[in-house]
Amino acid sequence: MSLREYLLRLDSEGCLVRITEPISKTYEIAAVLKQLEPRPVIFENVIGSEYQVVGNILCTKGYFADYFRIPVSEIIPMLTRAIEKPSPPPPPLPIWERGERLGVGGEVSAPCQEVVHLDPDLDSLPIPLHFESDGGPYITAGVFAAKHPEYGQNLDFHRCMQFSPREMAIRVVEGRHFHRFLEDLGQVDVAVCIGNSPNVLAAGAVSVEIGVDELTIANALEPLRLVRGITVDLMIPAEAEFVLEGTVYRDRRHAEGPFVDLTGTQDVLRQEPVFEVKAITHRVDPIWQALLPGGLEHKLLMGMPRETTIFREVNKVVECQDVNINPGGCSWLHAIVQIIKRQEDDGRKAIRAAFAGHRSCKHVYVVDSDIDVYDPLQVEWAMATRFQG
């Protein structure tokens, strides 16, 4: 199911808030998204842009589970199966000639390439400026596709700060796979896909070994159609709303930030690699996907995939029933792990395994099966009555 098909379903179920009044991409979209969390919102009249903007699509596990028509309790098993048994997508759709690119009538096989701009202008896109302190407008929901001659293709998230009509500064975290690609190659062609379905978003957020193509995980979650990029030799989701194609240069640097990060605090200014955009493709009447920095959707897409890695590690030493990386811990720093305790030291084993599964964790709480890991009062009650520091 594409993002827009899911939006139609949300609308039919009365879950989608439609904002018809004119709204600015400078501060106002971010403010309304925050005010209406966790409800999905679509902005139909963005000042200075011909495109609609949608956000808050996956603010809760309930919305994520609803997309796949599963209970919340099945999210971790579903993601675990997709990681352990990835499924290669079918061959890419053919690339036909486009009328918009040639100036004559034409056909298209992939929705994300219905319109092609080979002289791109980032100013034409409704890229939000979220907060007054931000260094510039930011793409926050972009899934990067990149490729390495040894490791193959990779998907992941990187925030992108626009600083010119064709250039962006990319936050590249050391140690991640894309950082390895860039260090090895010096420059890397990328396709930044925006307006993705939840299976692609989840696959782009998971942590797997280098060499695993996350598109196979996305396809295991839900069948996926791919197409080759127009100017880059990369496989991309054919149903995406927008795709920005171009090159990231390791040794071309620009200031990136400040930026309000996952914790709701301001990240520092850095000199980061430059992304030069060389083509923009999109659907006819595309919908831009925004992701509020530090918001519930940001937290969900960061924390939920790490629950799966913790679940897998803990299950190696004890029987794990559930994991919740909760918003109170910024959906990154705290993990609540539910186990079936059979030996006196099972709790300690679970804690060590949980830290191995998510090294950024600060605190791990292990509870018995009678405690609801999604109820902070029950978790605190268990800590008060069953633990003595």
Return the active site residues: 261
Q: Which residue has the tokens 């860039």?
A: 182
**CA nearest neighbour of 250 among 267, 231, 273:** 273
Which residues, listed in sequence order, are joined to residue 191 by a DSSP beta bridge? Answer: 145, 245
Q: Is 49 within 8 Å of 125 (Cβ atoms)?
A: yes
Q: Sort residue 309 into left (φ over 0), alpha (ψ -120 to 50) or beta.
A: alpha
Burial of 354 (0-12, 13-18, 19+ CB in 10 A): buried
Query: What is the dihedral sign for C-alpha 39, 281, 198, 350?
Result: negative
Classify residue 113 by its DSSP letter: G
Alpha-carbon 381 to chain mean position = 33
Q: Nearest 5°: phi and psi at 239? A: -95, 5
Angstrom distances, CA of residue 77 to CA of 7, 65, 68: 25, 12, 13
Q: Is 333 within 8 Å of 363 (Cβ atoms)?
A: yes
Strands 52-55 and 41-43: antiparallel
**Cα gap 366→148, rounded to integer Å:** 39
3-state SS assignment for residue 382: helix
Classify residue 130 by its DSSP letter: -
Strands 334-340 and 363-367: parallel
**CA nearest neighbour of 214 among 227, 203, 225:** 203
